[in-house]
Amino acid sequence: DGRSGRDELETGDQDLYSTRAVSFRTSNRESKHGSPPHPPSSGPDYERLDTRGYSSSTARRFLRDSNQIEYQLEEEVRLAEELNLVEGYVAEHVNEVREVLGVEKRPDLDRNVPSRRKGFLAKQEERRLKVLEIAQKYYKKQAPYTEFGNFLLPTGALHRILEKLNVAPSFFLLAMTSKPVREAVYCTEAWTSVNGERFAGLWSSLKLAGKRCGDAHLLLSGMGPQRLGHVKEFDLSGVKSITDDSLAIIAEQSPQLEVLLLGRRIDVGPQVTDVGIQDVAACCSRLKVLDLTWCNKVTDAGIKSVAEGCGELQQLNVSYCHLLTDASILAVLGSCKHMTELLVESCDRISEQGIISIGQLGPRLKRLSLAGCLTGTTTMSVIQLSRLCEALTIIDLTSISGLQDAAIWQLSRGCRWLQRLFLAWCVQLSDHSFVQVARNCPLLVELVGRGCVKLSDTSVMQLAQNCSYLQVLDVRGCRLVTQNGLDAMAMLLPSCMVLYDDTSLK
């Protein structure tokens, strides 16, 4: 009977069930009342009959490499479909298999009802596919996967999390939590995921701004050239313990430095002088961005060294550096031909001729801040700037109380690409200036006229009609602006945010 039943089976399934038939015969002799045989709970045949072996062996194979797991979706789906096919065949041909094994047939078998095992596998596969769909949606570019504690976290996601922190003390504390985090923290070079997404090393940018760092100089000394050699951006704004010795370490061990932010907050911040600036200028020739806000001890000698050693400089912020004169401006603009941003707020020693030289030597400037430069920023110097710097998109003339309408009228005609214009507390400007700005600068996005007491509803209506891209309008302290002007702005340009004082409305 066994041989005749085996011949009726398909040839493709003969080898599949031959190994199972051998183990079932031992339990068939001891079974009573014709009940279906059950596989043994232990022994060599148990591993062979464990249907879960298809998924567990695959999982063990994927987990063999503890560092990175390459998730093979197609292989998993193929194995699941093959397992479903096998279990489905057994469920639909139970009587034929029982005949081969010499077991009594089941007359009440409904072939349309799948077995419990098949239903369980179908639900399990459906659940797994849903999880994979979610993973592909949110982590499509975050492979390969790495083990993080008891969870599987994509390496790209882990890198993004650490990149948001971007603080050296936090890196050293997190490195002690687990091996994957330690490897991610100590990775200094750029790497590419299996999906082709490129990630820069975490040490390409180092920020200590606003963080409580007891001794930043000691921290920089302990990092060594292995990490500092890959740093391209240093943000040390507001860190007290940064001195000229710290800048000497940065200059010596970070030759690829491109961004250096040393801005102070009035009396809080790096204690740097010309000595530290000269060290950086001598060793960091790739420097493109330099911020020295409130560095009162920096003089023309330090800025001249930057101009000589950093020819690729593009952005310079020397606001509130009261010791700088026209010589610094001439040196920087004469040597750095790619300069696009220059901020010299409240530099009282820069004369009118120095402001005019900015227009002569910096025709590529896109952002210029002259706020508080009462000595050099006059009506004549602004007129010369507007004729020479046609590429300006942002200009700050805050608190230039002597500025007249002729300067803004010429500025609006010469710099038609203006997007942000700051004229706060320019008390001599009238509606003629703002009307010309509205007509000649259609790309204006932000206009600050706070404290301009001669600004009225006429200017507000002209801005609403001509500047369709306007997003921010500041008219606080403008007593001549009434509710009618605000209503016109709200009707013609509802997307614009208007800042005003309730007490000044009539």
pLDDT tens track for 181-207: 777 776 766 767 656 677 777 777 888
Q: Which residues of 252-290 are buried (b: 16+ CB within 10 A; e: fewer)?
A: ebbeebbbbbbbbeeeebbbbbbbbbbbbbebbeebbbb
Map residue 170 onto helix, strand or coil: helix
In this prediction the pTM is 0.68
The answer to whether residues 341 and 318 touch, using CB atoms and an 8 Å cutoff, is no
What the block records as the tokens of 400 is 């230039």
* Residues facing residue 369 across a β-bridge: 343, 396
User: Using 50, 70 and 90 to split pLDDT, how confident is the model at 47?
Assistant: very low
Residue 332 is predicted with a pLDDT of 94
Per-residue model confidence as pLDDT tens digits over 104-146: 655 555 444 445 555 666 776 777 677 666 655 554 444 444 4
- DSSP one-letter string for 384-417: HHHHH-TT--EEE-TT-TT--HHHHHHHHHH-TT
For residues 77 and 75, give the distance between their C-alpha atoms in angstroms, rounded to a whole number: 6
* pLDDT of residue 336 exceeding 90: yes
Average pLDDT of the chain to the nearest whole number:
76
Closest by CA to 342, choosing from 286, 400, 385, is: 385
Q: Is the pLDDT of residue 271 over 70?
A: yes
Q: How far apart are CA 126 and CA 114, in angstroms?
A: 16
Structure confidence at residue 168 (pLDDT)? 61
Is the Cβ–Cβ distance between 459 and 484 less than 8 Å? no
Quote the pLDDT of residue 219.
Answer: 76
Amino acid code (one letter) for 467: C
pLDDT at position 113, please? Answer: 45
Distance between CA 376 and CA 347 in Å, rounded? 9
The reported pLDDT for the residue numbered 247 is 93
Could you tell me whether strands 341-343 and 394-396 are parallel, antiparallel, or unpaired per DSSP bridges?
unpaired
**pLDDT band with cut points at 50, 70 and 90 for residue 223:** confident
Mean pLDDT of 368-375: 94
Please report which confidence band the pLDDT of residue 224 belongs to, taking 50, 70 and 90 as the band edges.
confident
* pLDDT of res. 319: 94
Would you list the domain boundaries of the chain?
A: 157-187, 202-339
Q: Is the peptide bond before 363 cis (omega within 30 degrees of 0)?
A: no
Report which residue type is found at 83: L
Between 320 and 125, the higher pLDDT residue: 320
The arithmetic mean of pLDDT across residues 274-287, rounded, is 94
User: Which residue type is seen at 111?
Assistant: R
Q: At what angle do helices 274-283 and 244-253 cross, to 10 degrees?
A: 0
Q: Which one, of 178, 126, 122, 144, lies nearest residue 65 by Cα?
A: 144
Rg of the chain on CA atoms, in Å: 37
CATH says 202-339 is which class?
alpha beta
Q: Are 373 and 397 in contact (CB under 8 A)?
A: no
Q: How confident is the model at residue 162, as a pLDDT?
A: 74
pLDDT category of residue 475 using cuts at 50, 70 and 90? very high
Side chain identity, residue 352 = E
State pLDDT tens for residues 48-85.
333 444 444 444 444 454 344 444 556 666 666 665 55
